Amino acid sequence: MGGWEYVFLVVAGYFAGLIGYITGLASVVSYPALLAIGLPPVAANVTNTVALVGVGAGSMTNSASELRHHPRRNLFRDAAISVTGGVIGAVLLLASSAASFQTMVPYLIAGASVAVLAQPFLRRLAGDRTFPVAYPLGLLLVSVYGGYFGAGAGVMLLALVLVSTTESFWRAGILKSFLLGLSNLIAAIWFAFLGPVHWLPAIAMAIGAFAGGWCGPPIVRHSNERLLRYLVAVCGLGLAFWLAVN
């Protein structure tokens, strides 16, 4: 790799971090960028997971204090579920063929995108109910997916939090970033020992991702929630279509 490729990865990482925090679609930028510098698909997927730890680290540096509003017991439970799911997903990626699971990915992302769009209507139907069984189960499944493949996992998790809890879009984004960051971190640790990680590209992209993730929370806090919801839904459906035809 030449010097310009590292600069390219830092810039791509920044936009991946920013877009990832706002929409949950970091991989729509970062994964193709890693393919563009010549990494094969599995190595790009593994390296991408390691690099995107920077998004969660950056966003938590700028918003971790907001997590104090969540009950500590629930936060520890959700963190444990995310870590467990990340481990399972990482093991599945290295131990099995990705083809069968990836056929479902576009439909999962499309469904999550529609759920984000329909969240106000769904919450009105749910009233004050918070789905104490469905939410942890959904979190486990999304965390497994995040450790396994990752593209669109942020959209899925954002949809889950918005539909299953009474959190605002702002706080749902912070919780999404924290939990997905844990899932990515544990998968990245697993890949560091057993996966084909390309470390220099991963570090370059992680630097940019940290900066982008740090810039995300204030942008979301001062943006129109309805506009952000539409943006997430449109980007998610676009990613679902792209994955379906490629």
Q: What is the pLDDT of residue 202?
A: 94
CA distance 203 to 124: 44
Q: What is the pLDDT of residue 163?
A: 85
Domain that holds residue 78: 3-245
Q: Cα 115 to chain center, whole Å?
A: 16
What average pLDDT values come out for the chain (246 residues) when binned by 10 residues?
Answer: 86 91 81 88 85 89 78 84 88 70 74 80 72 86 82 83 83 85 83 86 95 90 82 83 78
**Both tokens assigned to 31:** 């994964």
**Both tokens assigned to 227:** 């506009």
Contact in structure between 235 and 26 (CB atoms under 8 Å): no
Q: What is the pTM of this model?
A: 0.78
**What Å distances lie between residue 49 and 7, 43, 65, 94, 208, CA to CA?**
19, 10, 25, 13, 14
Phi, psi at 198, each rounded to 5°? -95, 105
Contact in structure between 20 and 154 (CB atoms under 8 Å): yes
Contact in structure between 198 and 1 (CB atoms under 8 Å): no
Q: What is the pLDDT of residue 137?
A: 92
Q: What is the pLDDT of residue 165?
A: 83
CA distance 113 to 120: 13
Q: What is the pLDDT of residue 101?
A: 59
Domain count along the chain: 1
Q: What is the pLDDT of residue 102?
A: 64
CA distance 218 to 221: 5
Cβ-based neighbour number of residue 189 at 10 Å:
16
